[in-house]
Structure 1
Amino acid sequence: MANEARPCPCDIGDRFEYGELGHEVRVEHFKAYISNPTASTEKAVILIHDIYGWQLPNTRYMADMLAANGYIAICPDFYVGQEPWKPSDDWSTFNEWLKSRDARKINKETDAILKYLKQQYNAKRIGVIGFCWGGVAVHHLMMMYPELKAGVSVYGKCKMQDRYNLLNPTFFIFGEKDEVIPLEQVSSLKQHCKVDYEVKVYPGQTHGFVHRKRDDINPQDKLYIEEARKDLLNWLNKYI
């Protein structure tokens, strides 16, 4: 388990500088970052940020990567104006901070995003990807929204009491050396998933490796970063 003094080791992985390609929009009562593909499409992906929030350059990079692969990609501010976690914050206050940011209480914003994508972009097939806090949100949404055709949860902490009655295909990405998600938690997914799903554990990888670790840290890590990104794209391509 993670050290109690640092209950979510999300400082692992670089928060790199990135010049985003998309733009910000307002969707009802909150903002979102959206990146569009060059060709017209009816496919879209909702990208759910981690504890560092919707403005993290790394997360916007992932949205742009999705757009480059043919998806309308939108990353909403699911904290709705509340401050995201900052690297300088005191980890002893993390659990208290998290209480007002429940990853399972995002239905209002999700409804607004789905409406926006359908009305503004004529999106007909929509999926969802989430990282860390957002990975937990994906667990929730894939049990609540049948219109989400596919989900990818990237190092989202499992709740052992959940039955994981997923409504549509969901892909679960974990790092072998993730300190906050013991691998035994993954067994609850394998026991209860009824739809098509996949659980993949990437050797030697820590929390944040898919979207926050620089590709050039070491060659072995780079291989798994690239593999995970290809895997999540392949999952979306298969089901959306």
Structure 2
Amino acid sequence: MANEAKPRACELGDRMQYGGRGQEVQIEHFRSYVAKPPAPSGRAVIVIHDIYGWQLPNTRYIADMLAANGYVAVCPDFYVGKDPWGPTSDWSKFQEWLEDRQATGINREVDAVLRYLKEECGANRVGSVGFCWGGVAAHHLALHYPEIKAGVSVYGIIRDREDRFELKSPVLFIFAEKDVVVPLEQVNVLEARLKEKCTVDYRVKIFPDQSHGFVHRKREDINPADKPHIQEARSDMLNWLNKYM
């Protein structure tokens, strides 16, 4: 993530091959993965990828899960054709790589996705879900896009802006107790300041014994002890979206 010299990101998620049930489409100047529900619902979710990019099978798995629960799920390439981070990338160059991939610099793409969802998918209620880098982006959208009705930021927060506690739409923040990328000290500050500053609904939830990347691991059966936490976090995500959308 943006504030760490060497983040331990979602390669800890026991990746496996997953082709996805949706399709890749062009939305204005970038590609996106789109998964649609069995029947139109008027509801959609912008799924915001982590540093491994829009083609990561884990993220497409989550998009398909959202579609199965009644949402059009669109996962745009927010790097707009630039290379995502890779499993063998040199962590000493992470900050240099990140310079032109800021999670708070995606407004042009978000605006295009909102147009697409309204004009092409008939969506009249839109939420967002983001992981790691995408969690920072989901936090950003909650500060600047009141038309996005609900957000879920999964192990990602904005840490360096004064207005970061003044949410315009409800947000569920999901964190892992043993996350070295977003340590509990920062989570505690977030929760305390939201209590002081925030005027909309929010929730901060910490999952015990979990590490960064746990929510969008696909092979949850690899670690049976983690499976209940993964399932609970995904249920929390769906319940939050359903509540406000």
> TM-score when scaled to structure 2?
0.93
The Cα offsets for residues 127-167 of structure 1, whole Å up to 9 and x where unpaired, read as 00000000000111110001000000000034054432111
Residue 70 of structure 1 corresponds to: 70
Instruction: Tell me how far apart the structure 2 counterparts of residues 151 and 120 of structure 1 sit (CA, whole Å).
Output: 22
Answer yes or no: is the 8 Å Cα contact 1:16–1:212 preserved in 2.
no
Residue 229 of structure 1 corresponds to: 234
The alpha-carbon deviation at position 45 of structure 1 amounts to 0.3
- C-alpha change, 1:105 and 1:161, in structure 2 (3 Å) is closer
- C-alpha change, 1:5 and 1:146, in structure 2 (3 Å) is closer
Instruction: Tell me how far apart the structure 2 counterparts of residues 212 and 162 of structure 1 sit (CA, whole Å).
Output: 33
Residue 182 of structure 1 corresponds to: 183
Instruction: Tell me how far apart the structure 2 counterparts of residues 19 and 84 of structure 1 sit (CA, whole Å).
Output: 18
Paired letter, 2:58: N
The alpha-carbon deviation at position 194 of structure 1 amounts to 2.0
**Aligned residues, how many?**
239
The alpha-carbon deviation at position 11 of structure 1 amounts to 2.7
Residue 197 of structure 1 corresponds to: 202
Sequence identity (%): 62
Instruction: Tell me how far apart the structure 2 counterparts of residues 119 and 182 of structure 1 sit (CA, whole Å).
Output: 41
The Cα offsets for residues 87-124 of structure 1, whole Å up to 9 and x where unpaired, read as 01111111110111000000000000000000001110
Residue 120 of structure 2 corresponds to: 120
Residue 60 of structure 1 corresponds to: 60
Paired letter, 2:210: Q
Instruction: Tell me how far apart the structure 2 counterparts of residues 60 and 226 of structure 1 sit (CA, whole Å).
Output: 17
The Cα offsets for residues 169-195 of structure 1, whole Å up to 9 and x where unpaired, read as 100000000001111212224323221
Aligned-pair RMSD on alpha carbons?
Answer: 1.7
Residue 173 of structure 2 corresponds to: 172
Answer yes or no: is the 8 Å Cα contact 1:129–1:152 preserved in 2.
yes
Gaps of 5+ in 1: none
Gaps of 5+ in 2: none
Answer yes or no: is the 8 Å Cα contact 2:47–2:130 preserved in 1.
yes
Residue 209 of structure 1 corresponds to: 214
Q: Tell whether 2:155 aligns with 1:155.
A: yes
SS at match of 1:82: coil
Answer yes or no: is the 8 Å Cα contact 1:158–1:185 preserved in 2.
no
Structure 1 residues 30-39 or 215-224, which shifts more?
A: 215-224
Answer yes or no: is the 8 Å Cα contact 2:9–2:132 preserved in 1.
no
Answer yes or no: is the 8 Å Cα contact 2:58–2:218 preserved in 1.
no
> TM-score when scaled to structure 1?
0.95
Structure 1 residues 107-116 or 4-13, which shifts more?
A: 4-13
Answer yes or no: is the 8 Å Cα contact 2:151–2:171 preserved in 1.
yes
SS at match of 1:37: coil
Residue 102 of structure 1 corresponds to: 102
Paired letter, 1:83: D
Instruction: Tell me how far apart the structure 2 counterparts of residues 51 and 19 of structure 1 sit (CA, whole Å).
Output: 19
Paired letter, 1:100: D
- C-alpha change, 1:19 and 1:213, in structure 2 (3 Å) is closer
The alpha-carbon deviation at position 40 of structure 1 amounts to 1.3
Residue 43 of structure 1 corresponds to: 43
The alpha-carbon deviation at position 8 of structure 1 amounts to 4.0
Paired letter, 2:46: I
Instruction: Tell me how far apart the structure 1 counterparts of residues 162 and 134 of structure 2 sit (CA, whole Å).
Output: 17
SS at match of 1:58: helix
